């Protein structure tokens, strides 16, 4: 079956890692017509704004996108395109599986958990203003609708993928109204899923528990900010952002992306590691029911890591992006 999928190559190392992933998907025999968005620099050279260059229309039409990293200025400048895309497409659930990749040095072995992060509200609503010079107010928005929706997503995900336990993570002891509402919604939804064990943890304790013993967790559901921080923390337990995937899911569309940034320090040098985008593409292929191709790619990636002879520098090897990509393809065909 032929798929049409939007590809946003992104900035910095984005075009290199997305070209590598395209090659591997094609070698796995998946028939994809890529609806490729031009590089941001090219769009801006034409005097257009990235969000006005047909990106949203393409994703809405194709329902699925693979996205490379996009640059965001740290202070000042326009708001993050990553956040804008999630908002415009209502990609309300950020799915972050965290699992060891044999061959990657890490603090723990046998970690296998999934974090579900609410992606649209909380302190990411972008509602900030200066009250008086020197005093800034930033609004934390928590709604019953979004909290119920993310809780339901987490429980449905658990059922679909055979997970057994969900921890809701919060700070309702301090933010009694906002995190309290999130918790109330999680409890209500949990009532409908008696087959899944439901637990609660305060965010600071959850962080400590995660670094002490990640094996106690199966799935976590979190509001936006806690989810952002804790999903990177969890990734750090298995080797970092270079070896974990992510998917941003809405009711009708899904955008899969690596969670690392544009890595401007190594862009254009053929040394970037495409693993995180490749793993995100594997999630994407499962989402579009290309299950056996996804498995072939995953098996090949695991073999290449286990052998450890053709890995990129960030994970202790010396291979180029090209060499790593060719090895994954060769292994898949062997």
Which position among 186, 263, 281, 301 is part of the footprint of ligand NAI (CB under 6 A)? 263
> Both ends of the chain: CA-CA distance in Å?
24
The CB-of-263 to ligand NAI minimum distance in angstroms stands at 4
For position 62 contacting ligand NAI by CB under 6 A, the verdict is no
Residue bearing tokens 């996205």: 67
Q: Are 286 and 129 in contact (CB under 8 A)?
A: no
227 to each of 55, 86, 154, 186, 251, how far by Cα in Å? Answer: 26, 15, 13, 15, 20
Instruction: Indicate the SS3 state at residue 219.
Output: strand
Binding segment (CB under 6 A) for ligand NAI, from list 110-118, 128-136, 257-265, 281-289? 257-265
For position 72 contacting ligand NAI by CB under 6 A, the verdict is yes
For position 280 contacting ligand NAI by CB under 6 A, the verdict is no
d(CA 167, CA 221): 6
Beta bridge partners of 178: none
Binding segment (CB under 6 A) for ligand NAI, from list 169-177, 227-235, 269-277, 295-303? 269-277
d(CA 105, CA 259): 19
Instruction: Indicate the SS3 state at residue 94.
Output: strand
Q: Are 32 and 281 in contact (CB under 8 A)?
A: no
For position 257 contacting ligand NAI by CB under 6 A, the verdict is yes
**Binding characters for ligand NAI, 13-52, by CB under 6 A (x = yes):** x---x-----------------------------------
Give the count of residues interacting with ligand NAI (CB under 6 A): 19
For position 82 contacting ligand NAI by CB under 6 A, the verdict is yes
Closest CA to 35 of 6, 11, 3: 6
For position 265 contacting ligand NAI by CB under 6 A, the verdict is yes
For position 178 contacting ligand NAI by CB under 6 A, the verdict is no
For position 272 contacting ligand NAI by CB under 6 A, the verdict is yes
Contact residues for ligand NAI (CB under 6 A)?
Answer: 13, 17, 69-72, 82, 242, 257, 260-263, 265-266, 272-273, 276, 314
């Amino acid at each position: 079956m032929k798929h049409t999928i939007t590809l946003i190559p992104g900035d910095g190392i984005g075009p290199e890692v997305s070209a590598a992933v395209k090659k591997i998907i094609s070698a796995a025999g998946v028939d994809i017509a890529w609806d490729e968005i031009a590089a941001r620099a090219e769009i801006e050279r034409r005097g257009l704004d990235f969000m006005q260059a047909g990106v949203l229309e393409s994703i809405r039409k194709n329902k699925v996108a693979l996205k490379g990293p996009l640059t965001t200025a740290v202070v000042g400048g326009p708001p993050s395109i990553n956040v804008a895309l999630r908002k415009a497409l209502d990609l309300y659930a950020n799915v972050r599986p965290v699992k060891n990749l044999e061959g990657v040095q890490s603090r723990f072995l046998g970690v296998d958990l999934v974090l579900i992060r609410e992606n649209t509200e909380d302190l990411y609503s972008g509602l900030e203003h200066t009250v008086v010079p020197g005093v800034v107010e930033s609004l934390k928005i928590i709604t019953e609708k979004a909290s119920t929706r993310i809780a339901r997503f987490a429980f449905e995900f658990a059922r679909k993928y055979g997970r057994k336990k969900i921890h809701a993570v919060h700070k309702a002891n301090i933010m009694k109204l906002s995190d309290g509402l999130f918790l109330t919604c999680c409890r209500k939804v949990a009532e409908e899923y008696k087959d899944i064990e439901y637990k609660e943890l305060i965010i600071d304790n959850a962080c400590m528990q995660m670094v002490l013993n990640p094996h106690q967790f199966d799935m976590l559901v979190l509001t936006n900010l806690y989810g952002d921080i804790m999903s990177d923390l969890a990734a750090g337990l298995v080797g970092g952002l270079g070896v974990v995937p992510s998917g941003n899911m809405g009711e009708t569309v899904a955008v899969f992306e690596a969670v690392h940034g544009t890595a401007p320090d190594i862009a254009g040098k053929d040394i970037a590691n495409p693993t995180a985008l490749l793993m995100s593409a594997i999630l994407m292929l499962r989402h579009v029911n290309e299950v056996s191709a996804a498995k072939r790619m995953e098996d090949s990636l695991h073999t290449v890591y286990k052998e450890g002879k053709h890995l990129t520098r960030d994970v202790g090897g010396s291979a180029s992006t090209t060499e790593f990509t060719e090895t994954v393809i060769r292994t898949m065909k062997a």
